[in-house]
Amino acid sequence: MANIKILLVALVVLTGLPSLAEPADTGRHAAPMILVVGDSISAGFGVPIQQRQVTLLQQQLQQRVPLVTVVNASISGDTSQTC
């Protein structure tokens, strides 16, 4: 049992698990970021960039939270398999 405890402590120390580490107090707060993951609809396939859902979302959010960033990681294309 003692070996397991030592192994767990070693893993925590070596990997520096972020959930156990205290955040550094830099006096600054990170700007909020929203990651959009989706298909061709959220990617805006065939839609001008000014009219894409993610662009409109970012514009609306920035009126309320000026520092927010919206990242679109959506993939457009044939992502399904036919049988």
pLDDT at residue 8 greater than cutoff 60: no
Give me 20's structure tokens: 């156990």
62-79: average pLDDT:
87
pLDDT one-digit tens code per residue, 35-69:
999 999 899 999 999 999 999 999 999 999 889 99
pLDDT one-digit tens code per residue, 15-36:
444 444 455 556 667 888 999 9
pTM of this structure: 0.56
Give me 34's structure tokens: 């929203």
CB 38 within 8 A of CB 74: yes
> What are the backbone angles phi and psi of residue 12, rounded to the nearest 5°?
-65, -45
